[in-house]
């Protein structure tokens, strides 16, 4: 297999560390969107009985969530690039 010793795991005096990702806030927002989308899916039958209406509600939510996440990722990556370049 390989040599797995203490030097094979990144460690410092505080313990094991992993550098934080600049996309962590976006990951949190994705989690919130998933919870909201699941909740909307569960209550969409009570909002409207029409299957087409339910499709519009869920599709609209999905489209807005997608656009929000694309906007946020681009915003964070632009910020990372500006910090990286100076």
Residue boundaries of the structural domains of the chain: 21-85
Output the pTM of the full model. 0.75
The tens-digit pLDDT sequence of the chain (86 residues) is: 555 655 665 566 666 677 889 999 999 999 999 999 999 999 999 999 999 999 999 999 999 999 999 999 999 999 999 999 87
Task: Specify the DSSP element, H or E, that contains 16.
Answer: strand 15-16
Contact (CB, 8 A) for 41 and 58: yes
Query: Where does the chain have alpha helices with state H?
Result: 24-47, 51-85
Task: Please give the Cα distance from 13 to 3 (Å, whole number).
Answer: 22
pLDDT at 69: 98
């Amino acid at each position: 297999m390989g040599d797995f010793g203490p030097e094979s795991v990144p460690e410092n005096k505080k313990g094991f560390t992993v550098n934080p990702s600049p996309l962590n806030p976006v990951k949190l927002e994705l989690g919130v969107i998933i919870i909201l989308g699941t909740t909307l899916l569960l209550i969409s039958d009570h909002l409207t009985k029409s299957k087409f209406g339910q499709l519009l509600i869920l599709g609209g939510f999905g489209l807005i969530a997608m656009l929000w996440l694309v906007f946020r990722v681009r915003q964070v990556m632009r910020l990372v690039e500006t910090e990286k370049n100076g």
